[in-house]
Every structure is written in structure tokens, then in C-alpha cells.
């Protein structure tokens, strides 16, 4: 939460070991594929381009615009990266950024890095790619089409990544889905708008200056089908799964049981997936109120975190000559 | 006539402990054009950035009688226009018009007023025809002029320049100095370009290690070889 | 950029970076594997971070405070306190409303918060005692793909340069963010501000891509062909191996203790 001011970097201790390792595995496989694909495409240009772009995205996360009161909006950059260098290279760039943020700035845990990479570098990129391409095709006749596509891609990258994050927290038993999904979803629907606006502004600038640099400048007929399908699938799955999970919190445990997780876990000396905690308050109206208050507290904490990170960035700024 | 800039016993230490400014006292009358010279690290940029509140040290600074204080920063920044060394850092919009319009739009002016300000500012720097151009494609000299326009559109009383002629070829440099001659605002120019000081600024301030070592007529100071040498200027 | 590596001459600083990376990973892993309410074990884990801080001649209070910055996320686990599904929930009457407080849930919340806090300390200690290039070299020797090492190295090199650019842009922007008269509403619209920031981002990325072209040209001129250095395989010395083994054994011991005492 420190530098990026984006409340999606999960620290260590919040995800169960099973979820953490599982996410590590999935991320490692996909990043491995990205490595191969990028090498084929870029050749020796790969390293200097990725390296400097990663620095730019890292630094770019310092850019802010004031929203209201003391809060400000910031950038994650997955969508811009995808539009600039294509999905596979974007995955590599975001991986480097997020990894260094975790390793050096403790922005996100080390065990949890697999999950954070999955959410921001993979889901963020894939979803941007899918949304961007689909909308570009839809609006290709309109002059504003590219901006709508860019906005939507950036918004979706944040929003859907946050759903993945919420579900990981729920699966770990840290926080029940019927709290995390709506809260993360709501916060990031807002933050996503900031990302969308900044991305659109950047697109506007780039189109006017070096249009040739936009890898995904136009909807190309040869756009990578697998990512298109993958990105859309991930997005849809998360969007469908999340409300399901939040209304049927038992559902996830039921699924886990069916797949033998619980049996397997019970074989160990202790449960790897802790008991699913449901904040049930018998009065349903009260339940919503309590959820609302908790949501509000979480939003406040997020804003506080953002404000503090802002203050630190401002202090860094005044350090420069 | 009252001084338009009044600095009293200004000191500033960086967070890492290095002292950048020591007991600076300075008084500037409206309309004066002053060159601020000194070796790299003498504290010129740091001093200039105190004038619009980017840095704040100990001591007092008044701009047109207004204290440079957090509550006045909005007005101060409209009074003091800072032109930074690297125009690329200042030009961040897709068109020249939008870059120059940033200041007035932020100030809350309406569309017609913004339009008027922009065109006026561009005219002042003789870049009237460049409104729809992309700043990215301009030459270094053109970018520097646009950078001045972005600040002029806020109608400042004071213009502050950080190394304005660095990186310009001789012709661009000459044209730039001519432009500065034409502008009526009070000017404070941090520069290594001693010949610029000769032609443009009657008054010169020499800085070294955060202190003001000399403050007087440019021709006198430039004739003093020893002074220049001691302070890293030759 | 906040200080990461803190220059000290301590035994920890001098340790091989691979050791520190492996131990930090093992530490965080074993801590995560501990069950809830293993208070004794948590304290022992904390003792380890304190000892390492001591050995590294780092200030413990700063360590503790910095680690707290990870904690706003802990609010996500707050609902555990109000759970009714966990055993032994108490019902409390708050001015007519019935709210359940679960001691078990609270214990779990506390466990999560503590574990998170301690894990972050381990990460901070790693960053504070290891120079980034050494860290990268260690990761490379630990078989992280060479491409990432190369990309991260370049990123590090240009991070500060580009951050300075961003700072200057932000500074140039605030210098033009003034007020004309008290009656006008300053700031422009939110939409406009976001768009301006987007322009800054676009400009930033554009310049960075062009910078990368220059870097590429410089690399080519010095013979770069796309091949990346594989890094020398330096085996551990006996003392280093010994330290590592002892460290891992200690962690396993703590983990066993945790299982027996908590859960």
C-alpha cells in the first residue's frame, strides 16, 4: 500500500499457504510463456525496452491528480503497458515492477507475490487486452472509439483484478466473500475510473505524437486470439463468480469439500484452509448495516493509506532539487 | 516604490543535512532584470524554487508584500512564473494551446478568457501560429519559447528562469535573449551564460555555497577577474 | 525514493545475499504455515527479527514502525471479530442492537495481523542489509530467469532518473497551479485534471521508450548481441552452508512448536 497507493498489493499473512503457492504456480507458468513469446517477438531489443519501460511505469505510479479533500488518484499502468507493447511484454514489465515493489519496498508480500502478480500483471494485462480489442472492433467507425476502448480496458483491468484479489482473500478464510467482494469491487470501481481517465489522457497524447509506438493502435485482425479468449474468460469468470461467492459463502466451502480439499487438509496436522468465517448477525438488516460500517472503515483505511503514501511522495518531491 | 521581492535571512537545509542556502538577504524592485550566477551546486535553483513555494526554508520571503506561505501559494504561483531548465518537463500536453491553457484553466477562468490569455501569451513569444502544433515536434528553441508562454498566460509579475540558454544553438540563443529583452516583467535568471548577463541584466548576484558573495552592477562584477575565479565562474 | 539499503558494516550485511534471500523466504513461509493462536511461536519469530536487526545494527523502533505500514490491509480481516460461525461467540447488547463478538475470531484477527507485521519486518531486513545489485545477482544464482535479472537491473538504473523527471513534471505543474482571484473556483474539473495527468503519463512513457532506443544503441555499440550473462555458479562455503542449515532447522523447530501450541 506504500508507494503505489493502490490497495491491491496483498501483504504476507493474509493468504493461506495453499492459495499463495497455488497462485505462484499459475503465475510462474504464465510468466514463463510470456518470456518465450516476448523473446521471439522482440529479440535483443527486449531487455532495454522492457527495462526502461518498467522504470517508467514504476515512476509513473507517482503521478497523481487530486480527487477530493486530500485524496488523489494514481496509476497502476497495466492497461497502458498492454497498449504500448502488447500483452506478453506487458506481463514481463508489470512482473518486474510488482516484484521489485514487493522485494524492496514491502509493497505486497513475498509469499503473496504469486497472487499479486496474478492479479495485477496477468489478470490486469489479459483483461485490458481483451476489453481493448473487443471494444476497438465494436467502435472502429467512431473517432472516439480508441479512447472509449482505452478507458474501458483500464477500468476493467483494475476492477476485475480487485475481484480476483477479493476471492483470494475469501478462499484463504481471511475475509468472507460477502464482505470483500462488494468492498473491493466498490473501491476499485472508483479507482478504476481514475486509471481509465489517466490512460485515456496518455492515449490522447501518444496518438498525437508517436502513433506508431502504440502496438495496439488499431484493432488488428491478427490480434492474439488466445489472449483475447483467455482475457475474456478470466474477466467473465471473475465477474460471475464474485457475486455468487458473496451470496453463497458456503458455496465456496462446498466446492472445496467436493474437491476433497478439506479431506486432504485434515490429513495434515492442522487445517490449511481455516474454517470459513461468516460474519453472521442474525438480524439481516443489521448484517447489511454492519457490512456497510465495515466497508466504510475499510474505505477509510484505504483513503488513509493513500493519503499517507501521497504525503510520502510529496516529501520525496520536495527532496529533489 | 516597494520591492516586489523581499527576502530576509533565508536559510535552507536539505533533509539529508546539506545546507543549501545560508542567510540570504535580497531585495528586488519591480522591472529589474537580475542574473543569478554561480557554479553548479551554489544554490541558485534552490533559491529560485523558494520564490514560488516549492521549497520552504527559514526566514521570510515576500512577493509584492504577500508572504510566501502555504495559504498564499495559489496567488504566489500566479504572481511568480517559473520557467524550468528542461522544457520537456514543462510541456506535457498534446498541443501547444493546451499547454499554455493549463494555467488559466486551473485558475478557473472561462473559455473565452482562457482563449484570450493563450493567444496573447503566444503572441508575446512570437509563436502565434503554433497553437495547434504538437510541442513534441518542436525544436529546442521553439520549446523554450512555448515554455515561457505557458507561464505568461497566467499573467505573472515576475519571471524566474533556470538556465534558459542551456542547449540552444547561437541563433536560437540570440533570439531568445532578444525575447527576454522585450518582456516587461521583473526577471530573475539563474545562468552560467555570463554573456547573457552582459547584454540583458544590469544587475548581477554571485552565489557560492549557498551564500550571496556579490550583488551589484553586472559590468563591474564581470570585470572583476578575481571575484569570478574565486566563485567558480571562470 | 525511501531509503532501502542502509549502509552499515555488520555481519548480516556481509552475509552472502543468497543466504539472506533463502532464509527470508523460509522465514515467511514457516511463519505463514503456523496455525492461529500460536502466540509463543509468534513471539519467537519476532525474537528472530529483533535479533537480526540487532546484529545488523539497525534501529528496531524504525523497523517496527515501518512494518506497521502493511497493516491497513488487516482491516480486511476485521469481520472475523464479528463472526457467529466460530465457536464461543458472545452476544453483546449495544444500545438495543445485538452484535456478536467472537473471541475465536478476534484471536484469528490478531494472529493474522501479527504474522503480517512480522513477515514485513523480515522483508525490510532483507532490503536494508542487501544492496540491490547483490540481491539481483543472488536471485540469478538461485535460478531466476536471466531476462528478469537484466530487465530489473536496467529498471533500477533508470528508476531514479525517470523518477526525477516525474518530480520535475509534477513540480512544473504545481508551479502553474495558481489562483487568479478569490472568487473563482480553482482546479479545473476533475475530468480535466485526470486528462492532464494522463498527458504527463503519455509524455513520460514516450520519452522513456525513446530513451530505451538510446540505451539499446549504446548496448549494441558495446557488443551486445542479446545473450545474457548466466552468472557464475559460486558454491556456498562451509560456514555459509552451516549457517543456512542452522537457520532452517531453527525455523522448522519454531513451526513444530507452533503446531503443538496453537491451532
Lowest mean pLDDT among A139-143, C173-177, C223-227: C223-227
> In Å, how far is C210's CA from the nearest CA of chain A?
9
CA atoms within 13 A on the CB side of A215: 19
Lowest mean pLDDT among A25-34, B152-161, C179-188, C251-260: C179-188
* For A208, nearest residue in chain B (alpha carbons): B94
For cell 519467537, name the residue: C44
Q: Tell me A120's DSSP state.
A: I
Q: What is the pLDDT of residue A269?
A: 28
Give SS3 for B202: coil
Nearest to A286 by CA among C97, C84, C100, C105: C97
Q: Is the ipTM of this complex over 0.90?
A: no
Question: What is the Cα–Cα distance from C123 to C61, expressed in whole angstroms?
Answer: 16
Residue A99: CB atoms within 10 Å? 24
Question: What is the Cα–Cα distance from A203 to B5, expressed in whole angstroms?
Answer: 42
C258 has a pLDDT exceeding 90: no
B109 has a pLDDT exceeding 60: yes
Q: Does residue C184 sit at the B interface (CB-CB below 8 Å)?
A: yes
Q: What is the pLDDT of residue A276?
A: 27
Give SS3 for B10: strand
- Given a contact as 3+ CB pairs under 8 Å, which chains touch C? A, B
* For C204, nearest residue in chain A (alpha carbons): A56
For cell 499573467, name the residue: B155
Mind listing the pLDDT tens digit for each residue in B63-101? Answer: 999 999 888 888 888 899 999 888 887 787 778 998 899
Q: Cell numbers for C42, please give them.
A: 509468534
Which pLDDT band, with edges at 50, 70 and 90, does C126 fall under? Answer: very high
Which pLDDT band, with edges at 50, 70 and 90, does B32 fall under? Answer: very high
Which pLDDT band, with edges at 50, 70 and 90, does A284 fall under? Answer: very low
User: Which of B49, B81, B108 has its CB closest to that of C186?
Assistant: B108
Chain B residues 134-193 with a CB less than 8 Å from chain C: 136, 150-151, 154
Chain A residues 60-99 with a CB less than 8 Å from chain C: 60, 62-67, 73, 75, 80, 84, 92-93, 95-97, 99
C201 has a pLDDT exceeding 50: yes
Mind listing the pLDDT tens digit for each residue in C3-53? Answer: 577 777 788 888 888 889 999 999 999 998 888 888 888 888 998 999 888
3-state secondary structure A71-95: EEECCCCHHHHHHHHCHHHHHHHHH
Question: What is the Cα–Cα distance from A51 to C183, expressed in whole angstroms?
Answer: 48
Measured in degrees and rounded to the nearest 5, phi and psi for residue A235 equal: -55, -50
Buried b (16+ CB within 10 A) or exposed e, B137-176: ebeebbbbbbbbbbbbbbbbbbbbbbbbbeebeeebbeeb
Fold classified for A17-247+279-319: Arp2/3 complex 21 kDa subunit ARPC3 (1.10.1760)
CB of B94 closer than 8 Å to CB of A209: yes
Q: What is the pLDDT of residue C217?
A: 80
Domain of residue B11: give its range. Answer: 5-230
Burial of B110 (0-12, 13-18, 19+ CB in 10 A): exposed
Question: What is the Cα–Cα distance from B48 to B81, expressed in whole angstroms?
Answer: 11
- Asked if B89's CB is within 8 angstroms of C168's CB, the reply is yes
Which residues of C fall within a CB distance of 8 Å from A66? 187, 193
B148 has a pLDDT exceeding 80: yes
B177 has a pLDDT exceeding 80: yes
Question: Which DSSP helix (H) or strand (E) runs through C152?
Answer: helix C146-175
**Which residues 6+ apart lie within 8 Å of A68 measured at CB?**
none
Residue C238: CB atoms within 10 Å? 8
Question: What is the Cα–Cα distance from C176 to B106, expressed in whole angstroms?
Answer: 8
Q: What is the pLDDT of residue B62?
A: 93
- Name which residue leads in pLDDT, A28 or A272: A28
Q: What is the pLDDT of residue A247?
A: 62
* For C111, nearest residue in chain A (alpha carbons): A13
Question: What is the Cα–Cα distance from B13 to B91, expressed in whole angstroms?
Answer: 30
As a whole number, mean pLDDT of residues A79-99 equals: 92
Q: Which neighbouring-strand residues pair with B206?
A: B37, B214
The enclosing domain of B68 has a CATH number of: 3.40.50.300
Measured in degrees and rounded to the nearest 5, phi and psi for residue A54 equal: -60, -40
Mutate to test the interface with C, among B64, B106, B121 (most CBs of C within 10 A): B106
Mutate to test the interface with C, among B92, B134, B156, B159 (most CBs of C within 10 A): B92
Mind listing the pLDDT tens digit for each residue in A152-207? Answer: 999 999 999 999 998 898 888 777 777 778 888 888 888 888 899 899 989 988 88
* For A76, nearest residue in chain C (alpha carbons): C201
A259 has a pLDDT exceeding 50: no
Question: What is the Cα–Cα distance from A28 to B65, expressed in whole angstroms?
Answer: 63
Amino acid at each position: 500500500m506504500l508507494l503505489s497507493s493502490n490497495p491491491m498489493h496483498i501483504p504476507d499473512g493474509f493468504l493461506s499457504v495453499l492459495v499463495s503457492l497455488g497462485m505462484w504456480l499459475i503465475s510462474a507458468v504464465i510468466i514463463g510463456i510470456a518470456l518465450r513469446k516476448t523473446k521471439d517477438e522482440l529479440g535483443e531489443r527486449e531487455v532495454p525496452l522492457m527495462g526502461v519501460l518498467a522504470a517508467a511505469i514504476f515512476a509513473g505510479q507517482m503521478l497523481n491528480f487530486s480527487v477530493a479533500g486530500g485524496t488523489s488518484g494514481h496509476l497502476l499502468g497495466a492497461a497502458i503497458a498492454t497498449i504500448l507493447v502488447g500483452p506478453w511484454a506487458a506481463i514481463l514489465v508489470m512482473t518486474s515492477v510488482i516484484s521489485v515493489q514487493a522485494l524492496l519496498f514491502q509493497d505486497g508480500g513475498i509469499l503473496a507475490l504469486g497472487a499479486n502478480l496474478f492479479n495485477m500483471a496477468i489478470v490486469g494485462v489479459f483483461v485490458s487486452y481483451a476489453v481493448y480489442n473487443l471494444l476497438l472492433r465494436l467502435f472502429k467507425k467512431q473517432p472516439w472509439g480508441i479512447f472509449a476502448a482505452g478507458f474501458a480496458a483500464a477500468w476493467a483491468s483494475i476492477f476485475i483484478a480487485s475481484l480476483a484479489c477479493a476471492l483470494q482473500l475469501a478462499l484463504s478464510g481471511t475475509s468472507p466473500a460477502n464482505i470483500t467482494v462488494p468492498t473491493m469491487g466498490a473501491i476499485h470501481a472508483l479507482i478504476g475510473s481514475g486509471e481509465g481517465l489517466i490512460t485515456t489522457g496518455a492515449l490522447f497524447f501518444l496518438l498525437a505524437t508517436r502513433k506508431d509506438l502504440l502496438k495496439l493502435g488499431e484493432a488488428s485482425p491478427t490480434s492474439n486470439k488466445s489472449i483475447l479468449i483467455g482475457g475474456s474468460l478470466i474477466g467473465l469468470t471473475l465477474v460471475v463468480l464474485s457475486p455468487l461467492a458473496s451470496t453463497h459463502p458456503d458455496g465456496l466451502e462446498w466446492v472445496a469439500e467436493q474437491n476433497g480439499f478439506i479431506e486432504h487438509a485434515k490429513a495434515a496436522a492442522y487445517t490449511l484452509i481455516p474454517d470459513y468465517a461468516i460474519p453472521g448477525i442474525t438480524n439481516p438488516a443489521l448484517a447489511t448495516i454492519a457490512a456497510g460500517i465495515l466497508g466504510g472503515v475499510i474505505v477509510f483505511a484505504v483513503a488513509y493509506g493513500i493519503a499517507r503514501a501521497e504525503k510520502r511522495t510529496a516529501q520525496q518531491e520536495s527532496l529533489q532539487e | 516604490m516597494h520591492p516586489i521581492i523581499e527576502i530576509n535571512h533565508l536559510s535552507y537545509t536539505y533533509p539529508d543535512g546539506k545546507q543549501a542556502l545560508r542567510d540570504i538577504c535580497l531585495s528586488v524592485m519591480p522591472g529589474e532584470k537580475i542574473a543569478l550566477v554561480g557554479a553548479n551546486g551554489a544554490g541558485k535553483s534552490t533559491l529560485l524554487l523558494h520564490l514560488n513555494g516549492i521549497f520552504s526554508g527559514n526566514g521570510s520571503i515576500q512577493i509584492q508584500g504577500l508572504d510566501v506561505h502555504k495559504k498564499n501559494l495559489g496567488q504566489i504561483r500566479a504572481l511568480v512564473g517559473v520557467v524550468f531548465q528542461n522544457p520537456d518537463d514543462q510541456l506535457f500536453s498534446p498541443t501547444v494551446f493546451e499547454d499554455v491553457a493549463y494555467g488559466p484553466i486551473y485558475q478557473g477562468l472561462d473559455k473565452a478568457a482562457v482563449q484570450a490569455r493563450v493567444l496573447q501569451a503566444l503572441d508575446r513569444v512570437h509563436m502565434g501560429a503554433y497553437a495547434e502544433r504538437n510541442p513534441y515536434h518542436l525544436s529546442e528553441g521553439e520549446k523554450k519559447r512555448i515554455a515561457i508562454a505557458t507561464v505568461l498566460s497566467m499573467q505573472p509579475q515576475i519571471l524566474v528562469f533556470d538556465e534558459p540558454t542551456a542547449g540552444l544553438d547561437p541563433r536560437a540563443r540570440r533570439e531568445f535573449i532578444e525575447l527576454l529583452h522585450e518582456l516587461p516583467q521583473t526577471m530573475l535568471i539563474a545562468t552560467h551564460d555570463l554573456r547573457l548577463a552582459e547584454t540583458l541584466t544590469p544587475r548581477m548576484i554571485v552565489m557560492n555555497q549557498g551564500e550571496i558573495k556579490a550583488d551589484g552592477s553586472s559590468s563591474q562584477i564581470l570585470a572583476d577577474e578575481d571575484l569570478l575565479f574565486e566563485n567558480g565562474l571562470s | 525514493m525511501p531509503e532501502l539499503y542502509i549502509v552499515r558494516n555488520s555481519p548480516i550485511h556481509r552475509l552472502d545475499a543468497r543466504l539472506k534471500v533463502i532464509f527470508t523466504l523460509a522465514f515467511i513461509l514457516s511463519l505463514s504455515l503456523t496455525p492461529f493462536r500460536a502466540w509463543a511461536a509468534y513471539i519467537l519469530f519476532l525474537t528472530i527479527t529483533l535479533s537480526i536487526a540487532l546484529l545488523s545494527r539497525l534501529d528496531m523502533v524504525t523497523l517496527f514502525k515501518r512494518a506497521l505500514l502493511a497493516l491497513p490491509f488487516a482491516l480486511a480481516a476485521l469481520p472475523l471479530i464479528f463472526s457467529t460461525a466460530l465457536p464461543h461467540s458472545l452476544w453483546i447488547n449495544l444500545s438495543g442492537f445485538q452484535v456478536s463478538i467472537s473471541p475465536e475470531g478476534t484471536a484469528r484477527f490478531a494472529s493474522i495481523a501479527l504474522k503480517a507485521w512480522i513477515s514485513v519486518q523480515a522483508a525490510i531486513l532483507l532490503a536494508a542489509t542487501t544492496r540491490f545489485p547483490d540481491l539481483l545477482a543472488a536471485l540469478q544464482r538461485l535460478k531466476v530467469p536471466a531476462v528478469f535479472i537484466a530487465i530489473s537491473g536496467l529498471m533500477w538504473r533508470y528508476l531514479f532518473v525517470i523518477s526525477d523527471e516525474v518530480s520535475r513534471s509534477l513540480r512544473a505543474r504545481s508551479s502553474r497551479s495558481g489562483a487568479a482571484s478569490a472568487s473563482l473556483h480553482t482546479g479545473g474539473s476533475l475530468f480535466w485534471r485526470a486528462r492532464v495527468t494522463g498527458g504527463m503519463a503519455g509524455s513520460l512513457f514516450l520519452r522513456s521508450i525513446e530513451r530505451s532506443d538510446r540505451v539499446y544503441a549504446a548496448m549494441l555499440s558495446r557488443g551486445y548481441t542479446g545473450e545474457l550473462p548466466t552468472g557464475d555458479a559460486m558454491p556456498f562455503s562451509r560456514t555459509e552452508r552451516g549457517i543456512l542449515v542452522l537457520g532452517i532447522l531453527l525455523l522448522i523447530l519454531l513451526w513444530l512448536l507452533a503446531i503443538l501450541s496453537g491451532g
